[in-house]
Amino acid sequence: MRIAIIGLRGIPAKYGGTEVFVEEIVTRLKDKFDFYVMHEDSKFYEDSYHGIRRIHAPAIESKSTSIPTINDLITTIYLYSKHHDKIDLFYFLGPDSSPAAILPKLGRKKVLINPDGIEWKRLIRRSRFAPFYILPLYLITMIYMYLMEFLSCKLADVVVADSRGIQKHLEQKHKPEKTVYIAYGARELVTPAVSKEEEAEILGGYELNLGEYYLTVARIVAENNIHMEVEGFKRSKSKKKLVIVGNFNRKDPYTKHLLKLKGKNVIFLDPIYDKKVLGVLRKNCFAYIHAYEVGGTNPSLLEQMLFRRPILAYDVPFNKEVLQEGGIYFKDAEDLASKMEMLERGEFDLRLIKKTQIKRIKRQYNWGKVARMYERLFRTLIRRGKGDGIDC
């Protein structure tokens, strides 16, 4: 069975959660399926990455942005023209991949689409920090993304949602023919082979000490509320540091706002792709802050849960669905400052928090379980030809 996956920048994962998800799934299932994985590049060619076929195709992109609709369409046209007789199933990631899904749909191929989070709401949050003269563009893009979300629900044989909240939203808003819920898993970053001395050396490279900093690893966009974290930290009486790792773009209006907001003991770091280094930072933080507001199950949050550190999470349904009693929730910057101070005074049940995080990862968010669910979905859809009877 041959499956094309479209809607990512490529593997190995060097950008975000979508790439991590694809790399984990295809690596675990490559002996059971033949995968054709999209990889944005400057020209057309194909190669192999750890036994997985990568389809390189020209892409319109920069360091921090991409135009998925066009890039996905280019890749799909190439794939369909060269391999359409071989591919059984096309899996599109993100609502803006929907126009590209029209081609295989017309060719009577099986189509899966994961619309990701509620993407059109992201533009509402970002518009707060945009210059007034580009607000019409934000409005047009927001409408476009809503239409793409609608289209994805109408084109797909099965719509995949990575959180129960997203599944409910899609079913209520767009009534797709069939939806299934399959979450993400948590990627293990640090093994016991990393010594305490090596961890201390890595931390020292960033002028950090064990347990003396708060950490966030995130895309630097408005809907992830990095500004709220900085404001909350500055209002607190904490003597620790706040470390934020992300794709800071000095030309972007939101990054400019954060740079003006940045104060004492606030450290901005560019993306870290070394798993060991990132794992050491996660493992040794005093607490992790997750202020994401729009979206479903976030891979960065799941990765942090493996380290059993306190997690301060923005009080929205998506975060509560994942963490349950394994999180400490805040409603705004002032509340975040208060929760930081309470945490430093030892006013939360850390044993319950750790126990809940361990249970959630083992039972719900492990890649082995996620891969098995995808294997069942792929096989059932290809063999039956319909979404009926699929229950992951």
pLDDT for 202-220, tens place per residue?
999 999 999 999 999 998 9
Mean per-residue pLDDT of the chain: 90
Please answer whether residues 345 and 329 qualify as being in contact, where contact means their C-beta atoms are separated by less than 8 angstroms. Answer: no
The pLDDT value recorded for residue 392 is 56
| pLDDT above 70 for 46 | yes
Q: What percent of the chain has pLDDT over 70?
A: 96
Residue positions counted in the chain = 392
The pLDDT value recorded for residue 390 is 60
Q: Where in the chain is the domain with CATH 3.40.50.2000?
A: 2-185+366-384, 196-363
Q: Supply the CATH classification number for the domain 2-185+366-384.
A: 3.40.50.2000
Report which of residues 20 and 356 the model is more confident about.
Answer: 356
One-letter amino acid identity for 50? H
Report which of residues 37 and 189 the model is more confident about.
Answer: 37
**H-helix or E-strand spanning residue 197:** helix 196-205
The pLDDT value recorded for residue 246 is 93
Report which of residues 138 and 338 the model is more confident about.
Answer: 338
Q: Among the listed ranges 3-17, 18-32, 165-179, 184-198, which one has the minimum average pLDDT value? A: 184-198
| pLDDT above 90 for 375 | yes
The pLDDT value recorded for residue 118 is 79
Helices and strands counted in the chain (H then E): 15, 14
* pTM summary value: 0.85
The pLDDT value recorded for residue 123 is 79
Sheet holding 328-330, edge to edge: 266-269, 241-245, 213-217, 287-290, 311-314, 328-330
pLDDT (tens digit per residue) in 194-203? 889 999 999 9
| CATH 3.90.1150.10 at 196-363, yes or no | no
The pLDDT value recorded for residue 120 is 80
| pLDDT above 60 for 63 | no
Mean pLDDT of 122-136: 83
pLDDT (tens digit per residue) in 246-268? 999 888 899 999 999 998 899 99
The pLDDT value recorded for residue 300 is 87
| pLDDT above 70 for 192 | no
The pLDDT value recorded for residue 386 is 53
Q: In sequence order, which residues have a C-beta less than 8 Å from that of residue 272 and are 6 or more positions away? A: 217, 245, 278, 281
Q: How confident is the model at residue 65 (pLDDT cuts 50, 70, 90)?
A: low
The pLDDT value recorded for residue 327 is 96
Mean pLDDT of 122-126: 81
Report which of residues 137 and 36 the model is more confident about.
Answer: 36
